[in-house]
Structure 1
Amino acid sequence: MPKITDIKKQKVRPRVNIYLDGKFGFSLNLEDYLKLGLKKDQEIDLNTIPHILNQDQQKKLFDSALNFLSFRPRSEKEIRDKLWAILKKSRISTSQESLSDKVHKLIDETVASLKKIGQVDDLQFTLWWIEQRQKFRPKGRMALANELSSKGIKKEIIDEAFSRGLGEDDLALASKLIDKKKTSFEKLADFERKKKVASYLARRGFSWEVINQVLTLIKEE
């Protein structure tokens, strides 16, 4: 069995480099290193190294995911895409089927761990996304649904979020947006004003049904 001939702490990251028989063997996070109780001159079974490295990789992924989540909530798809990108840049290759299976397993295990501590919840993410959009950048339900769908949120979850009556309905929201832009439209000719209003609301993701209702309200003013 190979012998640990040196252990060196990395200068920047909380990790240690393990040297086996005078050559670099592998690196390990400080927490796992202390748990394993590895020491200089200790012999180590080669069969245990893959397990140690797998645990280390799992912790690195978990910490990376938590850092990614520290900026804002994320959907499960966003987390999976981020972890996949991290692993593609690492020494783990995805070109071989067996290694690709390993990558998927690492990602699945990391996401499962995040779910256990409530860090990944697509319904809560959807509710948060809708609330933030309506507060800072109001959009119609159609646009919101498209945004959420692009983030991997299933239709039934989107429908569930909307069914909770979060925020204003589309007609009230569209009317409020146009009211704020009133000074920009009021000097225009009737046809041009309607065209500008319709274009503005369409870009905000409102349905044509809602747009026509707003145009009718404008006509009645």
Structure 2
Amino acid sequence: MGKITKITKQVKNDERYNLFIDGKYSFSVDEAVLAKFQLRKGLEVDELEISELQYEDDVKKAFNKAIQYLAYRMRTEKEIRDHLEEGDPEEGVIQEVIHKLNEIKYINDLEFAHAFVGTQMNTGDKGPTWIRGELRRKGVGDSHIEEALAAFTQEKQVDKAVALTEKLLHKYRKDSKMIAKQKIEQNMMRKGYPGSVMKIVWETVESERDDDERWDAVYHQGLKAHRKLSSKYDGYEYVQKMKQTLYRKGFSMEDIERLLEELKENEE
């Protein structure tokens, strides 16, 4: 049993108070804990009461930490748990904070999922597979995920995928049509668009190139191959290496033969 002999407000945090028991500093508590337990000078407290005070204070500190974390954006229950666990509090403290946050409706994984899907549909470039994986990583349950993803219909997925594909076609214009298509499909797969959507995209997007665009790609890749191979090979071996390299890159033998003829004429 001990007696509170002094209570002082902290200098750097005026919402916390230092408690002195029997003339010595013991611990500090939040203002809310001070008021809840009506702590005052002269009050006698035993070890069990001190333990309860410290537990309540730990809950209050963790709750304040969670509120600050939520101030930046919505969070899932798992995100909040992970954030609180960084301070290594008791599991009971975290459970109490989660319970309080649920009571005041500061946590709602279904609302979070709807908001996350809406953001990706309106401002992001990710597809449903990526979104599903990200929501699972954040701890959202599958039923909530699928309910939220219902808004990202196949029609909307195709619209976004078409726009992205058209940009990528321009980016990979110096590659053969075959290589460009492979790169685009890999890119779109990483972004989370399924093969069924890409099949519709290729039926929608005009991926055919005119003669000038096709030749620009052949010439660009041909010069790169020429600079690499001409220093190592010559004659028949050089020609065969060039044909093999450019054919693997998806160019037609007709265009390759034309390129080799043009390179030969430029050297003469």
Residues 1:157 and 1:44: Cα distance change in structure 2 (over 3 Å): same
Q: Say if 2:64 is the partner of 1:77.
A: no
Structure 2: tracts of 5 or more residues without a match: 209-268
Q: Which residue identity does 2:94 align to in structure 1? A: I
Q: Distance in 2 between matches of 1:76 and 1:167?
A: 29
Whether the 8 Å contact between 2:158 and 2:201 is mirrored in structure 1 is yes
Q: Which residue identity does 1:33 align to in structure 2? A: L
Rg bigger for which structure? 2
Equivalence for 1:100: none
Equivalence for 2:178: 191
Equivalence for 2:121: 134
Q: Identity of aligned pairs, percent?
A: 30
Q: TM-score, normalised to structure 1's length?
A: 0.84
Q: Which residue identity does 1:201 align to in structure 2? A: M
Shift of 1:167: 9.5
Higher RCO structure (Cα 8 Å, ≥6 apart): 1
For residues 160-213 of structure 1, what are the alpha-carbon distances to aligned partners after superposition, in whole Å with 9 as ceiling and x for unaligned? 112245796322221122234443244543112212221221121111222233
Shift of 1:11: 1.3
Equivalence for 2:42: 41
Whether the 8 Å contact between 2:169 and 2:184 is mirrored in structure 1 is no
Whether the 8 Å contact between 1:194 and 1:215 is mirrored in structure 2 is no
Q: Distance in 1 between matches of 2:116 and 2:31?
A: 37
Q: TM-score, normalised to structure 2's length?
A: 0.70
Q: Distance in 2 between matches of 1:33 and 1:190?
A: 72
Task: Give the alignment of 1:109-128 within 5 angstroms.
Answer: 109-128=96-115
Residues 1:24 and 1:47: Cα distance change in structure 2 (over 3 Å): same
Whether the 8 Å contact between 2:169 and 2:180 is mirrored in structure 1 is no
Residues 1:166 and 1:35: Cα distance change in structure 2 (over 3 Å): farther
Equivalence for 2:95: 108
Shift of 1:117: 1.3
Count of matched residue pairs: 207
Shift of 1:135: 2.5
Q: Distance in 2 between matches of 1:190 and 1:34?
A: 73
Equivalence for 1:215: 202
TM-align CA RMSD: 2.2
Runs of 4+ aligned residues of structure 1 deviating over 6 Å after TM superposition are none
Q: Distance in 1 between matches of 2:136 and 2:168?
A: 29
Equivalence for 1:68: 69
Q: Distance in 2 between matches of 1:186 and 1:220?
A: 10
